[in-house]
Amino acid sequence: MHLVIAIDGPAASGKSSVARALAYSFGFAYINTGAMYRAATWQVLRRGVDPLDEAAVAAAMEASQIVTGLNGLKESTITLDGDDPTPFLRDEAINHHVSNVSTVPRVRELLVARQRAYAERDDIVMEGRDIGSAVFPQTPYKFYVDASPEVRAQRRAAQGEGDSIAQRDRIDSTRRASPLMIAEDAQVIDSSRLTIEGVVGEIIGRLKLKRFPLPPLARLTRE
């Protein structure tokens, strides 16, 4: 297995920007697992399946051809039955239903298998809700990026998105199958008063303390 840096946290905590920046500065692949659950939601909706019907959602995903990969920037990609859902992943309907689709254990099994496969080929920074707790519990490099509810709501509003993050947080944290939680050995970083660079710097500092084998490029730019 390759190196895995796990970054978990609630919606709009800043974890995506941080994970992407960290992956770029290390030359690692950046894997956005939220996008995978969003893609599954898009598939369910376009197939006319009720997102609250667990058995139908599981069946629809089992019948789908799910292909994951990396683009030229080493960012994760996903297609469903040959179609790329990327332009639709931040649509309001997806924001609204994604937490429900993510509660379905079979959906998680199908996607977690693909998430784990990334680490067989590349060093990765993977972000999500259950990466440190369930997908790669064995990695010693795990972070939980948080921010106050007010700051998170402001960030989403600034992005111009209709997204009820309080409701998503509630469903994501209380579901039975690998809920959002702080893994016992995760390092928590409150990003409320930090810039992206500030959080990335903090993570790199903590990785150094853990004797993480920093790639040469990261060493050059940070010291």
Binding interface with ligand DC (CB under 6 A): 11, 33-34, 37-38, 98-99, 102, 128-131, 168, 172
Contact 29, 122 (CB under 8 A): yes
Choose between 79 and 208: whose C-beta lies nearer to ligand DC.
79
CB of 11 vs ligand DC, minimal distance in Å: 5
In the complex, minimum distance from the CB of residue 92 to ligand DC, in angstroms, rounded to a whole number: 13
End-to-end Cα spacing for the chain: 28
Q: Which is nearer to ligand DC, 131 or 199 (CB)?
A: 131
Residue 196 class from Cβ within 10 Å (0-12 exposed, 13-18 middle, 19+ buried)? middle
Closest separation in Å from C-beta 131 to ligand DC: 6
**Which CB, 17 or 102, lies closer to ligand DC?**
102
Report d(CA 15, CA 25) in Å as an integer.
Answer: 15
Q: Is the dihedral of CA 134, 214, 1, 32 positive or negative?
A: positive
- Alpha carbons within 13 angstroms on the beta-carbon side of residue 138 total 5
Q: What does the alpha-carbon distance between residue 107 and residue 193 come to, in Å, rounded to a whole number?
A: 35
- Minimum Å distance from CB 175 to ligand DC? 8
Q: Are 152 and 164 in contact (CB under 8 A)?
A: no
Question: In this structure, are residues 159 and 95 in contact, taking their beta carbons and an 8 Å threshold?
Answer: no
Cβ closest to ligand DC, residue 123 vs residue 130? 130
The distance of closest approach from Cβ of residue 217 to ligand DC in the complex, given in angstroms and rounded to an integer, is: 27
CB closer to ligand DC out of 119 and 131: 131
